[in-house]
């Protein structure tokens, strides 16, 4: 159901779950992509005269307030993006929030304080989440689920509230699911997936599933060293998940059987230490010195990856190719971003998945419009591609219990 199916929303209290989990440097938002992506749903509800109550999380506080995880700076930025004031409640379901909801006029927007300041938000069992979910639901008439980045979480504001209130899918969640469905259901080929980031253990599920759908798998980032080790290469002091080497060996064998091309770097930027001013050199992938760590894919690999992406019709990318936050190790990520931009211009569908990857391409100077779609979901988009059932989506298909 879309918000249009909820009837006339004028004067109704609409609880919207958004994903406003943005990176902060102190109280400065360093990438507001998720706020900009969430704004259209909130603006549309406000224009319809709804009393909009936005709820969201920031970081991973442990069920109690912590000043550094306050959503206050996000309320300010959301107001700037919407071009209208956004009220902020200093608690989530407490007296401040109750009073702020009661004070809302038609069309007003309120942001509640971090949901995860309440242990009930992330409780493991339905019982542990029930009281908090009930308190959230009691403040609203209807619920709109628009936090795509959290649909893989079975949490009170994502899952339980949808079972307590008449609910609808927000525009952002609908768009994200639409794009990801195009990747899983009969993608235009060749279909390539570029995976990077630190840990292969976070990506094992998705790799397993992609061996059945993708034509090419390009691997970079910290996780590549577990692949190189699986091929019998020495990786020096590079990040290595030794306990995953056998699993990766199995994947390499499966890829060969299924005819999936695995593209690995041919050269590596190897440094003395994890630091921007550490001495570093480009070395062949089979010549990583024992006392050095790989912090980026090398220039030859950047060219190879670009070449393997150039004729693709569908590309999904998650995870940086190196420690891009440090200038000497950003070139690999930049090369892949540029390759995606180039192939987008040929009409291919390109999707950048994940808050970190999205922030990386913006930090490197690319615009959102350079790519087909920048997903707001990291874990959520990977779990979707893994073929997992996402509780925050399945609950929206249930009939209203309320
Ligand atoms: C994200 O950053 O991927 C989402 O906001 C979900 O956050 P979480 O991994 O802390 O649940």
Q: Which residues of 196-229 are buried (b: 16+ CB within 10 A; e: fewer)?
A: bbbebebbbebbebbbebbbbbbbbbbbbbbbbb
- In angstroms, the CA 366 to CA 252 distance is 33
First to last CA, the chain: 15
User: Does the annotation place 60 within a ligand binding site?
Assistant: yes
The closest alpha carbon to 392, from 139, 103, 146, 212, belongs to 146
Average pLDDT estimate for 88-116: 98
pLDDT band for 206, please (50, 70, 90 cuts).
Answer: very high
Q: How far is the CA of 151 from the centre of ligand 1 (A)?
A: 10
Instruction: Record the tokens describing residue 337, joined without a space.
Output: 């971003």
**49 annotated to bind ligand:** no
**Who's near 401: CB < 8 A, 6+ residues apart?**
163, 164
20 C-alpha to ligand 1 centroid (Å) = 10
- Mean pLDDT value of segment 180-207: 93
The model's pLDDT over 237-286, given as tens digits with 9 standing for 90+, comes to: 999 999 999 999 999 999 999 999 999 999 999 999 999 999 999 999 99
Is the C-beta atom of 60 inside 6 A of ligand 1?
yes
pLDDT in the model for residue 344: 98
What are the φ and ψ backbone dihedral angles of 277, each rounded to 5 degrees?
-105, 15
Helix axes 33-47 and 72-82, enclosed angle (nearest 10): 60
pLDDT at position 396 is 96
Q: Can you give the pLDDT at residue 402?
A: 61
Q: Are 193 and 216 in contact, with CB atoms under 8 Å apart? A: yes
Mean predicted confidence (pLDDT) in 340-362: 93
pLDDT band of residue 357 (cuts 50, 70, 90) is confident
What's the full length of the chain, in residues? Answer: 402
79 is in an annotated binding site: no
Distance 21 CA to ligand 1 centre (A): 7
CA distance 222 to 207: 15
Q: How high is the ipTM of this complex? A: 0.99
Going by the DSSP 8-state scheme, the letter that residue 160 receives in this structure is I
Could you read off the pLDDT of 67-82 as tens digits, one per residue? Answer: 999 999 999 999 999 9
Distance from the CA of 294 to the center of ligand 1, in angstroms? 27
Residue 193 has pLDDT above 70, yes or no: yes
Percent of the chain with pLDDT over 70: 100
| Nearest residue to 267 via CA among 277, 254, 256, 281 | 281
User: Residue 24 pLDDT more than 70?
Assistant: yes
Structure tokens at 364: 């490197």
Which residue from 379, 380, 383 has its CB within 8 A of the most atoms of ligand 1, so it is best to mutate? 379
What's the rounded Cα separation, in Å, for the pair 228 and 242?
11
pLDDT digits (tens, 9 = 90+) for 47-56: 999 999 999 9
Please write the tens of the pLDDT for every residue from 381-391. Answer: 999 999 999 99
- pTM equals 0.94
pLDDT at 367: 94
Region 148-166: mean pLDDT is: 98
Q: Is 378 a pocket residue for ligand 1 (Cβ < 6 Å)? A: yes
CA-nearest residue for atom 3, ligand 1, is 378
What percent of the chain stands above pLDDT 90? 95
- Name beta bridge partners: 14: 52, 142
Our answer to whether residue 308 is catalytic in this structure is no
Residue 21 Cα: closest atom of ligand 1 = 5
The two structure tokens encoding residue 117: 């300041």
Mean pLDDT of 207-215: 93
Task: For ligand 1, say whether the CB of 181 is within 6 Å of any of its atoms.
Answer: no
Task: Please check if 220 is assigned to a binding site.
Answer: no
Confidence bin at 399 (pLDDT 50/70/90) = confident
């Amino acid at each position: 159901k879309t918000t249009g199916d909820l009837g006339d929303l004028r004067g109704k209290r609409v609880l919207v779950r958004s994903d406003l989990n943005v990176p902060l440097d102190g109280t400065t938002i360093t990438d507001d992509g998720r706020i900009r992506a969430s704004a259209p749903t909130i603006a549309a509800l406000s224009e319809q005269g709804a009393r909009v109550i936005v709820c969201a999380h920031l970081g991973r506080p442990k069920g109690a307030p912590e000043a550094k995880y306050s959503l206050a700076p996000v309320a300010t930025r959301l107001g700037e993006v919407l071009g209208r004031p956004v009220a902020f409640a200093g608690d989530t379901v407490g007296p401040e929030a109750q009073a702020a909801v009661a004070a809302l006029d038609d069309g007003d927007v309120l942001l509640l304080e971090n949901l995860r300041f309440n242990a009930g938000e992330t409780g493991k069992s339905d019982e542990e989440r029930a009281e908090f979910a009930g308190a959230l639901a009691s403040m609203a008439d209807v619920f709109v689920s628009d936090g795509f980045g959290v649909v893989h979480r079975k949490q009170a504001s994502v899952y339980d509230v949808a079972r307590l209130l008449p609910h609808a899918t927000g525009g952002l969640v609908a768009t994200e699911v639409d794009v990801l469905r195009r990747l899983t259901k009969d993608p235009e080929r060749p279909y390539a997936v570029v995976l990077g980031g630190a840990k292969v253990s976070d990506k094992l599920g998705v790799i397993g599933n992609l061996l059945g759908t993708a034509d090419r798998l390009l691997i970079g980032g910290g996780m590549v060293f577990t692949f190189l080790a699986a091929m019998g290469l020495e990786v020096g002091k590079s990040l290595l998940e030794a306990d995953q080497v056998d699993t990766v060996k199995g994947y390499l064998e499966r890829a060969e059987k299924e005819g999936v091309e695995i593209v690995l770097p041919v050269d590596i930027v190897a440094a003395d230490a994890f630091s921007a001013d550490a001495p570093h050199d480009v070395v062949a992938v089979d010549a990583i010195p024992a006392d050095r760590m790989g912090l980026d894919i090398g220039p030859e690999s950047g060219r190879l990856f670009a070449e393997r992406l150039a004729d693709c019709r569908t590309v999904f990318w998650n995870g940086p190719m190196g420690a891009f936050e440090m200038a000497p190790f950003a070139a690999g990520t930049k090369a892949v971003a540029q390759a995606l931009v180039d192939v987008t211009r040929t009409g291919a569908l390109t999707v950048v998945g994940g808050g970190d990857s999205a922030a990386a391409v913006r930090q490197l100077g690319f615009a959102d419009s350079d790519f087909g779609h920048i997903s707001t979901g990291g874990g959520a988009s990977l779990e979707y591609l893994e073929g997992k059932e996402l509780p925050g989506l399945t609950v929206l298909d249930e009939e209203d219990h309320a």
